[in-house]
Amino acid sequence: MKTRVDKDTLTILEDSLLEALPEIIDLEVASDEEVAQAYTRLLEQVQPELEEDTMSTYRKAAPKALKKIRKQLRGFEKRSFSRWKPAFDHIEMMWSIAQELGEMHAADIAEEGGEDNNVIMAALAHIFPRALLVTQEVICLLKGGFPDGALARWRSLHELCVTAMYIAKHGEEAALRYLLSFHFSARRAAKQVNEHADRANLKRFTDEEMAEFDALCASAEIAIGRKIPKDKFGEWPAITGTHPNFAEIEKNVGMDHWRPRYKWASSHTHANHKPIGTLLGMAETTTFVNLVGASNSGFVDPFLMTSITLSQITTTFLLIAPNPDRLVHANVMLRLADEMQTIAVETEKVTREAFDAVKPSRTSAPNSAASKSK
């Protein structure tokens, strides 16, 4: 019996087995059960060798195939960056300014006694660098051609921003609870590890280590001033006590108007159904296919939302200790965020018109990789 693994089909082995069956069993007189047993025996004989042959074929083909794929990706990324360069320049300028302002602000606070003497600054000094990191991740995803992934990462940036606003509004108690919430989340995670350690092939936490988690949580409860009856109540934001979920925190700081966009960004994080034409990467196409790779369509919203949220969290961080200089820089960041609306929208419009003028018969987005396997 001959088999092949280099043909574009997933029925070669099955067809070969069916062809070989008459050689080992009389199909006209054998019962269905006997035929099934013969088929299984035949499969068991050839499957190990076929798996090794298939693995070898894939490995031999990989270097050439990967070289081609990576060349195509480099070309796409170059064209995509060229299309959106004004917006990339603007968001990266904003990031650079925010990073420098954050460093200067932290240095000023350090001269005044540092984070040890200011629990609010300690909390925000942890949140703000994370916001800068997430912003870079958004930018990286956009450069790679993944606007839906960028939008999903904006979701985390929004959470960091709202959290910072809440701490800035409610002061030391909220900051302390935020910092101490880590211990409750860590204990809950440790319990989950131990619960699933055998099936998940994870190393269990020892009784001594679990006792250390309990001791840290007990100390945190003393500092917070109340008992946390269940670990899930110790997670941020429930540790605030009065605002039991993130939607309530958004509302408390006047950011609830972002909830529709937050839920939109969440839809790409979770496994809920989305028709193929609803992805940002398919925003400029009229030929709907399954998007499995990069696309340079649909960048406007991630650019705009990220620039706004970056300016908001930078402003929140700076104005913990307001003075005329910080106020000026904060307002400049907000104005730069406003400018992104015009830059991103105009960039999309101009490049699309240029593309249509050159190739009016095309129905898919310019330089889109939204297709069958690219």
Domain residue ranges in the chain: 76-169+246-374, 171-241
Name the band, by pLDDT with cuts 50, 70 and 90, for residue 111: confident
**Does residue 8 surpass a pLDDT of 70?**
no
Q: What's the confidence (pLDDT) of residue 115?
A: 59
211 CB contacts (<8 Å, ≥6 apart)?
Answer: none
What would the pLDDT profile of 211-230 be if each residue is shown by its tens digit? 999 999 999 999 888 877 66
Instruction: Work out the average pLDDT over 175-181.
Output: 90
On average, the pLDDT of the chain sits at: 88
Full DSSP string of 197-241: HHHHT-PPPPHHHHHHHHHHHHHHHHHHTS---SGGGGSTTGGGS
Task: Report the range of poorest mean pLDDT among 23-32, 207-216, 259-268.
Answer: 23-32
Window from 10-19, 94-103, 144-153, 187-196 with minimum mean pLDDT: 10-19
pLDDT band at 348 (very low <50, low <70, confident <90, very high): very high
pLDDT surpasses 70 at 273:
yes
Residue tagged 């529709």 (tokens): 260
pLDDT over 90 (residue 100): yes
271-277 long-range contacts, CB within 8 A, separation 24+:
none
In this predicted structure, the answer to whether residue 4 has a pLDDT above a threshold of 50 is no
pLDDT score of 113: 66
The shares of helix, strand and coil residues in the chain, as percent rounded to the nearest 5, are 75, 0, 25
pLDDT in tens, 240-259: 667 778 899 999 999 999 99
pLDDT at residue 127 greater than cutoff 90: yes
